[in-house]
């Protein structure tokens, strides 16, 4: 523990900020995984079953399958089913699109923070390096002809430490952001596919 604190102190304030960002990044990633799991981002079976029943005319059974479902896909499909039952088709489409946009916003919550961390972490690291290099060369100037190359090299590697730390935080943040974006893209496709199948289903028997 003491060695970690000593290493952070060597890097200066910039390294402390980056260390804080690393904790925030890990927390955001874990929170997003938990939230997406709670929203059913990876579960489609029940919604697919309900839409198949709806298309076959068993609309009562379809609604019953989704009755207690609170996942993102179920939310959009239930909105489409209820809208098409009581509204004109164009109004039903608009209502379904409104609910789908809200579901996508819920799924995308927290991504802006990850994007910000991925952007600023390397910049903070670079700032720490620049400040460290300035300090090292000031020390070199003050020492004049008696400059110790070993001391100068030590100051430079400590300055470069913040750049490496910033990249070490930005890389996993960028990877996580890309993955979460792909999940949102998949959800948007599923929303459109499922809602379209509900809204364009032929009216038949209701069971």
Separation between Cα atoms, residue 106 and residue 111, nearest integer Å: 10
Separation between Cα atoms, residue 30 and residue 181, nearest integer Å: 15
The per-residue pLDDT for 143 is 66
Residue 107 lies in a domain: yes
The count of domains in the chain is: 1
Residue 67 lies in a domain: yes
The per-residue pLDDT for 149 is 62
Residue 205 lies in a domain: no
* Residue matched to tokens 């730390």: 165
Residue 116 in tokens: 């910000």
Residue 147 in tokens: 């400059």
Residue 147 lies in a domain: yes
Residue 185 lies in a domain: yes
Domain that holds residue 87: 2-199
Residue 204 lies in a domain: no
pTM of the model: 0.82
How many CB atoms within 10 Å of residue 105? 10
**DSSP state letter for 145:** G
The radius of gyration of the chain's CA atoms, rounded to the nearest angstrom, is: 27
CB contact at 8 A, 57 and 206: yes
Query: How far is Cα of residue 143 from the mean position of the Cα atoms in its chain?
Result: 49
The per-residue pLDDT for 205 is 53
CB contact at 8 A, 60 and 206: yes
Q: What is the pLDDT along the chain (207 residues), one digit of tens a residue?
A: 555 566 556 667 888 899 999 999 999 999 999 999 999 999 889 999 999 999 998 899 999 999 888 899 999 999 999 999 888 889 999 999 999 999 999 999 999 999 999 999 999 998 888 887 877 777 666 666 565 665 556 567 677 888 889 999 999 999 999 999 999 999 999 999 999 999 988 665 554
Dihedrals φ, ψ of 88, to 5°? -65, 155
Which residues are CB-neighbours of 164 under 8 A, at least 6 positions away? 125
What SS3 string covers 34-98?
HHHHHCCCCCCHHHHHHHHHHHCCCHHHHHHHCCCCCCHHHHHHHHHHHHHHHCCHHHHHHHHHH
Q: Cα dihedral sign for 161, 164, 169, 172?
A: negative
Residue 207 lies in a domain: no
The per-residue pLDDT for 48 is 93
């Amino acid at each position: 523990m003491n060695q970690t604190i000593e290493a952070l102190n060597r890097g200066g304030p910039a390294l402390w900020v980056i260390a804080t960002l690393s904790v925030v990044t890990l927390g955001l990633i874990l929170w997003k995984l938990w939230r997406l799991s709670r929203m059913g981002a990876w579960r489609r079976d029940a919604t697919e079953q309900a839409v198949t029943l709806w298309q076959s005319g068993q609309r009562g059974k379809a609604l019953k399958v989704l009755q207690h479902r609170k996942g993102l896909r179920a939310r959009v499909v239930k909105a489409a089913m209820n809208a098409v039952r009581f509204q004109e088709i164009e109004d039903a489409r608009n209502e379904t699109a409104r609910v789908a946009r809200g579901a996508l916003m819920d799924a995308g919550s927290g991504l802006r923070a990850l994007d910000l961390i991925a952007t600023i972490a390397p910049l903070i690291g670079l700032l720490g390096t620049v400040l460290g290099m300035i300090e090292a060369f000031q020390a070199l100037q003050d020492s004049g002809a008696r400059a110790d190359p070993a001391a100068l090299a030590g100051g430079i590697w400590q300055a470069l430490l913040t750049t490496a730390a910033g990249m070490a935080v930005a890389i996993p943040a960028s990877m996580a952001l890309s993955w979460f974006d792909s999940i949102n893209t998949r959800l948007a496709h599923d929303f459109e596919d499922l809602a379209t199948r509900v809204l364009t289903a032929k009216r038949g028997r209701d069971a």
